[in-house]
């Protein structure tokens, strides 16, 4: 693959050229797992065989370690009630958690959930991931920020656009095979974003993934939460207050 080609999505064979229109993907469900229907999911990570999840709402925000399959919460730490928890990322042995409007990123020991340090920032906090070198953050606009994991200082940014202009409401993030995947708030779509140019290189349509039965029988919010198991090339998605979490395969 030459350096100016867009990597293929996991589970697919065809890369898209940089000049091509965004690729459009649907999905098939590979596995369905239980998910805490009281979890207002704001961040999701798969690491070392477990999910790490950040939940939101004032007075109910947490970070938690979750057993795949059963959805059992193995470890949980509550956030102070005056903070609204947002996106999470694991970098090394640290677990980072954004807050919505407080401008504070909490940094915990990944194993013990003990608070190690906290950083400040000037925007809202929405989604968080990393590329192995830099933290990658969204704030609900069309801007994605790159931050130093040691200081949280901004070291770069991109503006996310498609052929019609800026793409706003970028929410929970995941870094997959050299591309940024972003939930778009209040939609059933995930945007695949070139981290250098900010151009949308693909759209994933997850409409209908949560059944009407689940929607009728539970209080549910919007799609929000992407996690990637790089070792097994598995993508997971869920939503706010969803009773299920899905492993999916992308279909072009």
Q: What is the pLDDT of residues 49-87, one digit of tens each?
A: 999 999 999 999 999 999 998 999 999 999 999 999 999
Q: If pLDDT is split at 50, 70 and 90, which confidence band does 213 have? A: confident
Domain boundaries, the chain: 23-251
Q: What angle do CA 70, 72, 73 make, to 5 degrees?
A: 155
Q: What is the pLDDT of residues 153-171, one digit of tens each?
A: 999 999 999 989 999 999 9
Q: If pLDDT is split at 50, 70 and 90, which confidence band does 181 have? A: very high
Q: What is the pLDDT of residue 127?
A: 97
Give the integer Cα–Cα distance in Å for 160 and 166.
6
Q: What is the pLDDT of residues 102-141, one digit of tens each?
A: 999 999 999 999 999 999 999 999 999 999 999 999 999 9
Q: If pLDDT is split at 50, 70 and 90, which confidence band does 11 have? A: very low
Q: 15 pLDDT exceeds 60?
A: no
Give the integer Cα–Cα distance in Å for 104 and 24.
36
Q: Mean pLDDT over residues 173-180, rounded? A: 97
Which residues pair with residue 236 across a beta bridge? 227, 247
Q: Mean pLDDT over residues 212-236, rounded? A: 91
Choosing among 2.40.50.140, 3.20.20.140, 2.130.10.10, 2.60.40.1220, the CATH entry for 23-251 is: 2.130.10.10
Residue closest to 119 by CA, chosen among 50, 111, 128: 128
Q: What is the pLDDT of residue 19?
A: 54
Structural element, H or E, at residue 121 = none
DSSP string computed for 135-169: EEEE-SSSEEEEE-TTT--EEEEEE-EETTEE---
Give the integer Cα–Cα distance in Å for 111 and 146.
25
């Amino acid at each position: 693959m030459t350096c100016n080609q867009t990597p293929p999505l996991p589970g697919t064979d065809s890369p898209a050229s940089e000049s091509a229109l965004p690729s459009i993907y649907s999905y098939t469900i590979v596995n369905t797992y239980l998910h805490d229907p009281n979890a207002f999911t704001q961040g999701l990570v798969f690491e070392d065989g477990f999910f790490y999840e950040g939940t939101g709402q004032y007075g109910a925000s947490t970070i938690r370690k979750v057993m795949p399959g059963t959805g059992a919460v193995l470890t949980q730490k509550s956030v102070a009630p005056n903070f609204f928890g947002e996106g999470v990322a694991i970098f090394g042995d640290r677990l980072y958690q954004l807050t919505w409007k407080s401008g504070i990123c909490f940094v915990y020991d990944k194993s013990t959930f003990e608070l190690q340090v906290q950083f400040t920032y000037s925007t809202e906090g929405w989604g968080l991931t990393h590329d192995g070198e830099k933290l990658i953050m969204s704030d609900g606009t069309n801007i994605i920020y790159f931050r130093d994991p040691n200081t949280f200082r901004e070291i770069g940014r991109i503006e996310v656009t498609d052929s019609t202009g800026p793409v706003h409401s970028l929410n929970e993030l995941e870094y997959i095979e050299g591309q940024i995947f972003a939930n778009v708030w209040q939609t059933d779509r995930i945007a695949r974003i070139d981290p250098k140019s900010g151009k949308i290189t693909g759209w994933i349509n997850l409409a209908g993934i949560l059944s009407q039965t689940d929607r009728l029988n539970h209080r549910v919010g919007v799609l929000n939460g992407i996690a990637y198991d790089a070792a097994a090339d598995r993508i997971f998605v869920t939503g706010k207050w969803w009773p299920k979490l899905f492993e999916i395969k992308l279909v072009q």
